[in-house]
């Protein structure tokens, strides 16, 4: 069974987009493909839920929450917070700009610590994953 953590940008694009919009259609197609695959279980974290729901209109909340409730929800615990802080500090040491108000680091850490695939459209995901490897390599060297 593949567990796939969906980033908010995929879910928002699929569940709150405008039909006929190419980005919405692509996100919806990918979401439906994964949701209908019996070998895949979709996953979120409370932070993903927050990101998705905060911009929804009141009329869509129940529908979207029902969709999210069908997914496995992974908690953000202390271990994720510690790992995310390590990665953020590494970025600062390397003068890599990560927006501290975004949750991308948490999403990457949640995926890593729970053995999940991460599906996102964010451009900084690869950078964060490389920073995570650098943190690990530095820890092994010491």
Query: Where residue 106 sits, what CATH number does that domain have?
Result: 3.40.50.1010
pLDDT, position 41:
97
**Per residue in 13-59, pLDDT tens?**
898 777 778 888 888 899 999 999 999 999 999 999 999 999 888 88
Instruction: Please choose, from the candidates 118, 107, 109, 89, the residue with its C-alpha nearest in 3D space to the C-alpha of residue 4.
Output: 118
- Residue numbers of the domain that contains 19: 2-141
pLDDT, position 23:
83
Measured between alpha carbons, how far is 109 from 107 in angstroms, rounded to an integer? 5
pLDDT, position 57:
87
Measured between alpha carbons, how far is 11 from 132 in angstroms, rounded to an integer? 25
Number of domain units in the chain: 1
pLDDT, position 138:
80
Say yes or no to pLDDT of 139 above 90. Answer: no
pLDDT, position 130:
92
Say yes or no to pLDDT of 142 above 80. Answer: no
pLDDT, position 19:
73
The answer for residues whose C-beta is within 8 angstroms of residue 131's C-beta and 6 or more apart is 87, 90, 91, 94, 96
Say yes or no to pLDDT of 82 above 90. Answer: yes
């Amino acid at each position: 069974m593949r567990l796939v953590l969906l980033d908010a940008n995929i879910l928002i694009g699929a569940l709150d987009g405008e039909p006929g919009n190419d980005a919405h259609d692509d996100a919806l197609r990918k979401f439906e493909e994964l949701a209908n695959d019996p070998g895949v279980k979709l996953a979120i974290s409370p932070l993903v839920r927050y990101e998705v729901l905060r911009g929804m209109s009141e009329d869509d909340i129940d529908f979207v929450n029902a969709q999210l409730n069908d997914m496995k929800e992974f908690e953000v615990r202390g271990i994720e917070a510690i790992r995310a802080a390590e990665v953020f500090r590494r970025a600062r040491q390397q003068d890599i700009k990560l927006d501290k108000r975004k949750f991308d680091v948490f999403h990457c850490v949640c995926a890593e610590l729970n053995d999940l695939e991460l599906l996102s459209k964010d451009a900084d995901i690869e950078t964060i994953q490389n920073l995570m490897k650098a943190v690990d390599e530095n820890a092994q060297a010491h």
